[in-house]
Structure 1
């Protein structure tokens, strides 16, 4: 059963939350980071990019210590406050496309991660885990929740809806045109009800944040080994999460772009594909697949539809049935020679919000030789992969909602 608990968040004052809140650092282009650091002294980016104060690029242990220093300065300047009572945080996002997400920011159990109560569907990289563990240990806080999803629950829906009838503590719209709302919940009766409901839920699934959750788990194990008085209630035993019902999850596909045809001429490449797929040249028609195991391909100015030949490919488990794996197993690896989809520089990814026009443009510019599109992974596919203990290929899902960093902060 899931152990989800309230915590005392460090969070911005109401008047500064819109200025402090920031997207994940990696989602900004360099010129965007520079503009925000230059024009907004309150941006959370000043904390995660602390060398800007000295016009220097920092890394490793030096950067982690400076992140800690910038964070302490924000607290000392009273840009942040810390709640006095353990709280849940009802969080609502209405994005620029009109999609609405309602969930709860809370602390999830690292032990549940180990016990597979919190299930994973994606592999993690050891070097990233190691780096992030050292980062967390040095800075002493986490500012970006892991996105967890749970089966739709009428009782939780009712509590969330009732709380959202009151005035939100935060209501702000970002330059990205997403509107965020947040309600702290410290009422003991409500906290107990929410905790009890989650205690009856058998399984939670990581939707986004596999490296953050695995690193938080490793930090918990490391901290436990170093603490002779460990009792399981320490803050390092938990990690900040944003929990939303499965029906609220929005999953987009990640399309694939490949820089060359692995030495093949166009006709040679198409003949090899014909062994595996039924191929139709769609010309300039923007073709997007409508069924699983159907793919879109853009090559040399034309779109193609690729339908997997059923007698060619055998499905034995949930991973075999996943379109991102099928593309890898039938084209990327055997024909295009891409074995390491994590590190091969010939392969790049474009999430589905960029649509097929983006894919076409990238190929037409000569940056890539061919592009492939597919349907998004479904929530049920994601869960089945996790339930069978399998792992998706990287960049199989682009999942919303995307939270802002610095709105709620969890200290260890």
Structure 2
């Protein structure tokens, strides 16, 4: 069962939606956000990354940052930039990036189902980042960034969603990056009830992206429940802001790696060690993406190489061990390059596939890094298999595109 709840969304005025909507808080540095929002007083970054309105030396986890976020949210409401809907409803959010289109339902998902693992996870969270979202949500009394959920597609849900998007949208704009965002209100009682009934038929939901936001929602719910002697389970803090897409509309790009040095090895010695676990083919100066699972490309010393994992280097029956990110980690990054915990090791960095292989080449040619690895994208089926098995993916396994815009709708907690 998947319990979803309509809510009274806090949203931008129609004419301001394009100016308000911003990239998610966790894909921009404070400097990038400050630059993006400097000429736009309506940007949601003033709420989602409020340190941009404080001195640059301010620690992003300082209490003043959360208070500035609340101040900015209150101002947006007072000035009528954001207005709350009068009745609870669902929303439909479609994104179009090139030839790819995905249609998701914006809804409140059950924190209790998350606690019971009926909303399944596949990543661990970092304590500092989770605490940051807890403080942000609790201080603002609002969930400002949606969690990206997915489910095993159902034709009945597709049919109803496709019917809804035939209506007049509330928002429809193309952002600076060329991605089109269209947003519909689902305010008819019969559509709301039908969607709830259809989602109840699902076995579970999966967190695709937003593990820190969903974990924070659980902690805030638990805090508020403990403080509320009249807790009923119907309070808004029992639900968290989500956009829920069918699995067959998900678009996962490669998530690539760059490493600062060869761990004291010469280029020849490094290549010799790599060839013990991988078939190595020199490609020359031209970049080529991996063509299939268990195949990698590597950029080193001005040349590209194709690597193919040899049989026996991984367990094909283990949903985690057979992931390409695991194969690369277990057979090359750890034993040859000496990478420790990839969440903390300063010698490794990660590059989203949206930046292309040229970004890998640039990072190495600049001298900042010495070797780069391009991976074949993890599949949504791999993600669900790992979540179903109760296992955890290695960090930085999936890069979802397009990213959900923040600020199109906010879930207030009371």
Residues 240 and 411 in structure 2, CA contact (< 8 A), matched pair in contact too: yes
- Structure 1 pair 338/53, CA: closer, same or farther in 2 (3 Å)? closer
Paired residues for 1:381-396 under 5 Å: 381-396=382-397
- Structure 1 pair 389/91, CA: closer, same or farther in 2 (3 Å)? same
Specify which of 67, 84, 87 is matched with residue 86 of structure 2. 84
Distance 2:135 2:360 in 1: 37
- Structure 1 pair 131/157, CA: closer, same or farther in 2 (3 Å)? same
The Cα of 1:79 is off from its aligned counterpart by 0.9
- Aligned match of 1:200: 201
Distance 1:151 1:113 in 2: 17
- Aligned match of 2:169: 168
Number of equivalent positions: 411
Return 5+ residue gaps in structure 1 as ranges.
Answer: none
The Cα of 1:321 is off from its aligned counterpart by 0.4
- Aligned match of 2:65: 63
- Structure 1 pair 298/111, CA: closer, same or farther in 2 (3 Å)? same
- Aligned match of 2:120: 119
TM-score, normalised via structure 2 length: 0.95
Q: 1:328-370, CA deviations, whole angstroms, 9 ceiling, x for partnerless residues?
A: 1111111111011011111011111222222122212211111
Distance 2:141 2:53 in 1: 21
Distance 2:53 2:383 in 1: 42
Paired residues for 1:303-322 under 5 Å: 303-322=304-323
Residues 143 and 407 in structure 1, CA contact (< 8 A), matched pair in contact too: no
Asked if residue 366 in structure 1 is aligned to residue 367 in structure 2, the reply is: yes
- Aligned match of 2:404: 403
Residues 295 and 307 in structure 2, CA contact (< 8 A), matched pair in contact too: yes
- Structure 1 pair 76/388, CA: closer, same or farther in 2 (3 Å)? same
Residues 30 and 52 in structure 2, CA contact (< 8 A), matched pair in contact too: no
Q: Secondary structure at the match of 1:16?
A: helix
- Aligned match of 1:108: 109
Distance 1:294 1:52 in 2: 41
TM-score, normalised via structure 1 length: 0.96
Q: 1:17-75, CA deviations, whole angstroms, 9 ceiling, x for partnerless residues?
A: 11111112343465643344331111112223445556564642222122111111111
Q: Secondary structure at the match of 2:15?
A: coil
Distance 1:344 1:265 in 2: 21
- Structure 1 pair 34/124, CA: closer, same or farther in 2 (3 Å)? closer
Residues 249 and 401 in structure 1, CA contact (< 8 A), matched pair in contact too: no
- Structure 1 pair 32/124, CA: closer, same or farther in 2 (3 Å)? closer
Residues 6 and 107 in structure 2, CA contact (< 8 A), matched pair in contact too: yes
- Aligned match of 1:187: 188
Q: Secondary structure at the match of 1:39?
A: coil
The Cα of 1:135 is off from its aligned counterpart by 2.0
Q: Secondary structure at the match of 2:38?
A: helix
Distance 2:43 2:253 in 1: 29
Return 5+ residue gaps in structure 2 as ranges.
Answer: none
- Aligned match of 1:42: 42
Please identify, of 389-398 and 43-52, the stretch whose mean Cα deviation from structure 2 is larger. 43-52
- Aligned match of 1:344: 345
